[in-house]
Amino acid sequence: MSLFDMTGQVALITGSSRGIGKAIAEEMAVHGAKVVISSRKQDACDAVAAEINARHGAGTAIAVAANISAKDALQNLVDETRKAFGKVTALVCNAASNPYYGPAAGIADDQFRKIMDNNILSNHWLINMVAPEMMERGEGSVTIVSSIGGLKGSTVIGAYCISKAADMQMARNMADEYGPKGVRVNCIAPGLIRTDFAKALWENPDTLARSTARSPLRRIGEPEEIAGAAVFLASRAGAFTTGQTFVIDGGQTISGG
């Protein structure tokens, strides 16, 4: 059996109707997992689940819309996952928000709070909703999709970067707390990836050129280039890995770019 085989696993992935989350869901399905597609809009979730079921067989994926800012919506997401598949073995906290682009002095309080609530508090909620059953089974994997923004300063997405640094620390804390019961918690920190979420940083050719000029690979990343790390962390291949942040950025953080 492949180290990356996920047969028998149930993966719940937030923000999975597009971008990195969708790529993770598709790749986990390729490796045998049942997957739960979730984002704010049910029709978008339904479309992705239908694609996955068409490729990998009926019943591979279900779609459950959830707004990560609402605790009851996240609890319903977990409940519906258990109702359909009986368990959650792999949680991927991918959904995030960044409603502000500019200097720190200009961000409104409600924008700052939204970033912290959606990028930190929602992950705290979700992890604690699924961790008890994982600990009871003696195994489970949680992956938080953070960002290299959590490792660098920024003059334009500062609050977002603060939230992503907090996600890395959350992974370390929870890995320490839940590890003795077999539950692993890790982060993936992507660099610039071609997603709608990061469009402001790449859709303008001049901005893209500046963003990639000092990166060793000299290019933007693609969503599927993050998905492999998520499969690693949720599968037997990552069974001895916890509390870590995997940087996948084309080398940007090592070049001074």
Contacts of 221 (CB under 8 A, 6+ apart): 190, 191, 192, 193, 194, 248, 249, 250
Which amino acid, one-letter code, is at 240? F
Query: Which one, of 20, 3, 2, lies nearest residue 197 by Cα?
Result: 20
| Measured torsion, CA atoms of residues 31, 9, 18, 26, in degrees rounded to the nearest 10 | 20
Q: What is the pLDDT of residues 219-234, one digit of tens each?
A: 888 999 999 999 999 9
Q: What is the pLDDT of residues 17-60, one digit of tens each?
A: 999 999 999 999 999 999 999 999 999 999 999 999 999 999 99
Annotated active-site residue in 100, 101, 160, 178 = 160
Query: What is this structure's pTM?
Result: 0.95
Q: What is the mean pLDDT of residues 90-111?
A: 96
Rounded-to-integer distance, Cα 205 and Cα 87, Å: 45
| Structural domains of the chain sorted by starting position, each given as residue range(s) with its CATH number in brackets | 10-255 (3.40.50.720)
| pLDDT of 123 higher than 90 | yes
Rounded-to-integer distance, Cα 237 and Cα 66, Å: 30
Give me the pLDDT at residue 257, please. 46
Structure tokens at 9: 């696993």
37-to-46, 61, 205, 219 alpha-carbon distances in Å: 8, 7, 32, 29
Catalytic site includes residue 160: yes
